[in-house]
Amino acid sequence: MDRDYLHRIRHAALRERVVSADQAAGLIRDGMVLGMSGFTRAGEAKAVPMALAQRAKHDPLKVTLMTGASLGNDLDKTLAEAGVLSRRIPFMSDPGLRAAINAGKVMYIDQHLSETVEQLRTRQLPAVDLAIIEAVAITETGGIVPTTSVGNSASFAILAEKVIVEINLNQSEHLQGLHDIYIPTYWPTRIPIPVVTPESRVGFPFIPIPPEKIAAIVISEKLDSSSTVTLPDAETRMIAGHLTEFLKNEVSRGRLPATLHPLQAGIGSIANAVMHGFIDSPFHDLTMYSEVLQDSTFDLMDAGKMVFASGSSITLSAPKYADVMGRFQDFKSKLVLRPQEISNHPEVVRRLGLIAINTALEFDIYGNVNSTHVMGTQMMNGIGGSGDFARNAYLSVFVTKSLAKGGRVSSVVPMVSHVDHTEHDVDILVTEQGLADLRGLAPRERARVIIANCVAPEWRDAIADYHDRAVLRGGHTPHLLEEALSWHDRLRRTGSMRAE
């Protein structure tokens, strides 16, 4: 293996720091705060956390784990089952860890993804003791070249006392040159972030740290997990169709150019399907300024519809991964990966005027959106970047299927059981039934538009009846408080929102 990796550690003195994953995991002590690479199942450190979980079997310890976002390779599951996690920040999507969080065994801090390093830098979160970063290579000056995600890796490495680098030999060397690492200047001499288009390159192609901070280097070979995104289905195609029609109308009214504005799409099957729908749209020369680049990004590029995409990670299905990595040089000039602080930064999101498309778990008749909590109590995955984008975008769109659980659950409810995006921040709601344009409407007007356009037919009478009776009681935002959450409570008790 020696010859395979030596050229990836271009700072020659650092080659002496190569150790086994077990040895590197030995640097981790009970109570430490770990800052680990990994964003939407892409580019996470793999060997050291697995070694840590193994070690915990005979040497129990607890750590706070911060990452960019969710991890692949069942790492969150493995670490949760090993009892290693006392605290997890800021996003996860693993069922095993989710169960531990909902049982109150792991303290989970569900943060806007742009904010974690801001709070670290200002010491509002506990300091990172050790950063563990997957890399393609280490440069001549000791700079770390990330792999398929940047996430929070740059700030973790800069702020941590020590850094462990995992050189992954199966991550393509062609990834070098893809990244743009920019760290905002520090208060009180903060200046504007110079990103003015999705294409702007404003930083370094590596994470610049003093090489002496690199305490250990581990050689790994495990691939990223594949995306779990499912193919578009009839309903997601209808959602995409409604949104495309709406955007065509905006173009014809002169509110948007035919190139639209830069697009952001949340992770998951529905957002991916919506993006996929743009392949058959009349829009052209599209750009993305998003957090995760999924299969649809590359399909849009291959279809000649998309000219540039900025993200913080690349998360693909297995066949798409093989395809994209096989001809990565063709894509590289059309891509940039940034720290999630920059990909999701309120300043840049507002400046670029994004069209932000994110998935709702449920929304209510007044336009409040729940992205995180099933029945108001059970954490699903976390808010992720949806708040960073929705709050500051030019157009804030939320999509969901109108029904869940085989029709026992309506995704449109009288009152959401948890609010992640308030009525003040939501412009457009889309289900397979249709689209509600809430811009410039008062709550009572929104309710009529949402009920008419977004609710599944079998739920429409019940929700209209709720609203009618609430209006009789009055108020700017009419509600029947004794009944507002009764659909969720019935679901909890009976497994269905339907009245018995």
Pull the structure tokens for residue 485.
């959450």
Catalytic residue among 166, 291, 362, 432: 291
Type of residue at 210:
P
| Rounded Cα–Cα distance for residues 371 and 172 (Å) | 34
405 annotated as ligand-binding: yes
Q: Could you list the beta-strand ranges (E) of 342-392.
A: 355-359, 362-364, 369-370, 373-374, 378-379
C-alpha triplet 422, 374, 403: angle, nearest 5°: 85
CA gyration radius, the chain: 23
Q: Is 457 left (phi over 0), alpha (psi -120 to 50) or beta?
A: alpha
Instruction: Find the helix or strand (DSSP H, E) in which 275 lies.
Output: helix 269-277
Q: Which of 357, 420, 347 is nearest to 383 (CA)?
A: 420
Rounded least distance, CB 184 to a second copy, Å: 8
Cis-peptide into 188, omega within 30 deg: yes
Give the end-to-end CA distance of the chain in Å, rounded to a whole number: 65
What is the CB-side half-sphere exposure of residue 84 using CA atoms within 13 A?
27
Q: Is 291 a catalytic residue?
A: yes
Q: Which of 213, 188, 208, 170 is nearest to 339 (CA)?
A: 208
| Rounded Cα–Cα distance for residues 358 and 264 (Å) | 8
- Is 46 or 345 the residue whose CB approaches a second copy more closely? 345
- Is 122 or 228 the residue whose CB approaches a second copy more closely? 122
Rounded least distance, CB 1 to a second copy, Å: 41
381 annotated as ligand-binding: yes
Which stretches of 393-496 are DSSP H helices?
A: 443-453, 457-473, 486-494
Rounded least distance, CB 428 to a second copy, Å: 11
The SS3 of residue 111 is coil
| Rounded Cα–Cα distance for residues 413 and 364 (Å) | 5
- Is 3 or 187 the residue whose CB approaches a second copy more closely? 187
266 annotated as ligand-binding: no
Rounded least distance, CB 378 to a second copy, Å: 5
- Is 74 or 118 the residue whose CB approaches a second copy more closely? 118
- Is 272 or 340 the residue whose CB approaches a second copy more closely? 340
- Is 1 or 191 the residue whose CB approaches a second copy more closely? 191
Rounded least distance, CB 326 to a second copy, Å: 34
Rounded least distance, CB 445 to a second copy, Å: 6
- Residues making up the binding site: 381, 385, 405
Catalytic positions, written as ranges: 291
Binding-site residues for CoA, in ranges, read 381, 385, 405
